Every structure is written in C-alpha cells, then in structure tokens.
Structure 1
Amino acid sequence: MTAEHAQDQPELWLFGYGSLIWKPPPHFDQRIPGYIKGYVRRFWQDHRGTPEAPGRVVTLIERGFWKTLGDTQNPPENDLVWGVAYHIIPEKVEEVREYLDIREINGYSIQYTPFVPAEEGIPEQTCLVYIGMPDNPQFLGALQPQVVAEKINESIGPSGENREYLLQLDEALQTLSPDSHDEHISDLARRVRSMTPPTRSTHHRRLSKTGLQRVSSTEEQEEVEKTA
C-alpha cells in the first residue's frame, strides 16, 4: 500500500516497536500486541541524550538490507518484530499525527506495513510506523553490541538515562507474548545491567553543560530529547 492511499483511509493504526510500547500516544481506543514482518530491530540510531553524549535508540532495518551490513550478532530466528498497534480515535487523528511528528522527528520517516495481531481472530491492519531509514544522518550502521551497551549506559539526556529506555523496552517486550522475545534487546539489557549506572552528579553536570533542564510532560520530554 502506498503512503498516499493509506493516508486517505478514515482511520489510523500506529505500530510501536520502541518507546511507544510502554509510552503510548494520546487518544487511542485500542492497544493490540502483535508483530510486523520483514524487519530487524537494532539499537543503531543516534537519537537520544545530548550533543556531547549522544545515546542510542532502536530503528527497523529491512531484513534483506540488514544482511549486507556485516552485523556480528547472531541473526534473529525469524523476521518478526514484536510491538503494539494502537487504533487512534478518528476525530483525533490529525492531532495525534502532529504529536508523533514532534516525538519521532530527527531521522525517522513514515512507512506503512501490515500488522499481525498476536491474538487469533483479530483482523490484520495496515499500520503507520516511524523508521530511521539507512540514509538518514542518525543511522549508524552495524555496531558491536558491547560498544552499543557502553554508550547506552553512559548517555544521559533531559528526560533521563538512556539505559532506562533500553531496560524498559526489554521489560515491555516480555509482556506482549510468549513469543515476543528479542535477543538483540535482551543481550544489550544484560550487558547494561552488569555495568555501573551513571551517578546523579554526572547527570547534573551533563545537563548543565548543554543548558537543558529536566522536564515533566511526555510531550516536552520527547520534543527536547529529539531535537537535542
């Protein structure tokens, strides 16, 4: 389905595979665990923290292209990426799209993909999904897992520690389905849990260097974080 055709549809389904799993968008009336096919999820997007201490967030890579990147980590057993589909209340679609364009700016592009619900009997949907395409400036390519884990552990932005993003994603994925395990995420989480977290003083020093302040609302956090 083309983007133009999907945008003409009266309803919006949104697929979340990162922070959207545990930090949902506003104005949804259905939340359905499930998966999309043909992608590999990797922490290869430079998209969190501060300019002096950029962190890492997940993006999706088309599996055929991913095979050309020389990833040293064991390949996924299949091409399923588990996450959550949200149905947005129709009269709030425009408002939610504006919110998401702020939340997912700085490297992410809108794509559309079929979504398969985990529960049998629920129909498949075409979902909007934000993906950091390989040609965006924040895409870093194949990285060694230990290097990624160390960067995640040390990076602190205005909305908190980058390690929190990883650990929350790891925990959230385990709640979706008995089959929703992602070894890339779990491996990084194991590595980070074995490291010493950044100290509070380190956190304050980094924020003060950039002039950024911790903010309270989800919208403010995401907007500051993505434009840092």
Structure 2
Amino acid sequence: MVLWLFAYGSLVWNPGFDFDEKIIGFIKDYRRVFDLACIDHRGTPKNPARTCTLEAQQGTVCWGAAYCVKGGIEKEKAALQYLERRECEYDKKTLVDFYKQEGAALEPAVTGVLVFTSTPDKATNRYYLGPAPVQEMARQIATASGPCGNNREYLFSMEKAMFDIGHEDDYVIELAKEVRKVLLSGLQGRRPAMPNLPLPFMQLGPLPEAALVDSR
C-alpha cells in the first residue's frame, strides 16, 4: 500500500506524521482560501481562527507538497488516523492529480493523491466561515488565538512556507500585509504620544581608527 497526500496548509511546513518522500508541486482547478474556522488549535468557539481550505476554481493552480507514505498497511493507517484527528474541521476527502511542473500538456506526476477539503456550505459544514472582505479577515486573524498559538502566526508561517518552496501565493501575501497593518495600528494606538521637542544639535567628530569596520 502507498498513500499520497497533498498538503496546502500547515502540513506544508509541519506534517507531523512519518512519511517517506516529499515532492513540491501543485494541483489544478483549486485555489487556497482562508474560509475555514479553527476553534480548537489557533482559535476558540467565541473567536475562531481562519485557516486554509481549497476553493474549486477552473484554470487555477494551488502549489504545495505531496507526501508519500509507504511500508505497509499499519504505517499508512497510523498516518491516516493522525490526519483525521488533526484535520477534523475538513468534512471531505478528495482524490486529485498532482503535478511537478507547469505546462499545458503536462502529465501528472502522481494520480489519486488524497487531499482534505471542506464543503463550502454553512448549513452542512459548521466550520465553514465563507469569504469576507480582506480587511475584516485581517482583523479576525490578527486577534484570534488558541491552545496551539495565534492565528497570525499560522498565516505568516504559510507565507514563509510558500516563499521557501519558490511559489509565493499572492492571496496569502495580500492577507499577511493587511494583518501587519492591523497589528501596527494596534501598537500605535497603545503607544504614548511623544512630545514634539526639538532635538539638540550634536557635532560628530571623526571616528577613532579602532572603530572603523570593514563591511565587506
């Protein structure tokens, strides 16, 4: 038995299970969105975090990592049991084709790759938050926190993970910028105002020879 799993969220930088191979690549006709609630890791029921899920969209690609688990049914079973617990907010499992290079006539590198997704319906999936204006999402991500850390750390880790694999996500970058604006405005709001006093004029002499540093 061989299990292949596509990772597009925190599993990209923190898989947490025993695997035998990792390949960087993408799946087609899906895009990464922050439309899923997390109420037990990086958020709470009263203040849920926003985490990644996939939205079907024709013509798009979603970059991430494919993990291979091989070595017997017990190893595969252990990986799946771990993933079921960790990905409990996702109510669907889908099999997709996985690609390693971009191109119109490209054949998939692996077929039948498992990916955890969520039903985009608030009536049937209690964890589905749906889309929102980017400023509203940024305020939610900037303030949500749970037992495993805060929501902004999750987003910034996602941003870094995509940079590290060489396939930055414009949507993630835009959202991260908005979260930083929220955090900065919060800091400025708490910072006491400094009096507008003139700075004294200081005449600087030449540095002593021992203080010169070669910056090459």
Q: Is the 8 A contact 1:153 1:192 kept in 2?
A: yes
Q: Secondary structure at the match of 1:105?
A: coil
Letter in 1 for 2:118: G
The corresponding residue for 2:79 is 96
Aligned to 1:5: none
Q: Provide structure 1 residue ranges, at least 5 long, that are not aligned to the other structure.
A: 1-9, 65-77, 200-228
RMSD: 2.2
TM-score, length of structure 2 as denominator length = 0.75
Which secondary structure does the structure 2 equivalent of 1:38 belong to?
strand
> Is 1:189 paired with 2:176?
yes
Report the count of equivalent residues. Answer: 175
Question: What do residues 31-90 of structure 1 show as CA deviations (whole Å, max 9, x unaligned)?
Answer: 1110000112110111240112111001101115xxxxxxxxxxxxx5000000000133
1:79 and 2:79 are equivalent in the alignment: no
Q: Distance in 1 between matches of 2:80 and 2:119?
A: 19
2: distance between equivalents of 1:101 and 1:17?
16
2:130 paired with 1:130: no
User: How many angstroms apart in 2 are the aligned matches of 1:56 and 1:24?
Assistant: 19
Change in Cα spacing, 1:93 to 1:62, as seen in structure 2 (3 Å) is same
Q: Hey, which of these two has a bigger chunk of strand by percent? A: 2
Match of 1:211 in 2: none
The partner residue of 1:52 within 30, 38, 46 is 46
> Separation in 2 of the partners of 1:121 and 1:166?
32
Distance 1:52 1:142 in 2: 18
Contact 2:99 2:107 (C-alpha < 8 Å) held by counterparts = no
Where in structure 2 are the equivalents of 1:1-228 lying within 5 Å? 10-48=1-39, 49-63=43-57, 79-91=60-72, 92-118=75-101, 123-135=109-121, 136-177=125-166, 180-196=167-183
Structure 2 alignment gaps of length 5 or more:
188-216
Q: Distance in 2 between matches of 1:124 and 1:108?
A: 23
Q: Which amino acid aligns with 1:157?
A: G
Larger Rg: 2
Indicate the SS of the match to 2:156. Answer: helix
Question: Which structure would you say has the larger RCO, counting Cα contacts within 8 Å and 6 or more residues apart?
Answer: 1
User: Larger deviation: 111-120 or 134-143?
Assistant: 111-120
What is the deviation of 1:109?
1.6
Counterpart Cα distance in 2 of 1:18 and 1:107: 12
Distance (Å, rounded) in 1 between the aligned partners of 2:49 and 2:175: 13
Q: CA deviation at 1:193?
A: 1.9
Greater share of residues in helix: 1
Contact 1:107–1:137 at 8 Å: present in 2 too? no
2:81 aligned counterpart, secondary structure: helix
The code of the aligned residue for 2:2 comes to E
Q: TM-score, normalised by structure 1?
A: 0.71
Deviations 1:152-175 (A, max 9, x none): 000010011110000000110111
Distance 2:126 2:37 in 1: 9
SS in 2 for 1:139: coil
Distance 1:188 1:53 in 2: 18
Counterparts of 2:108 and 2:99 in 1: how far apart (Å)? Answer: 8
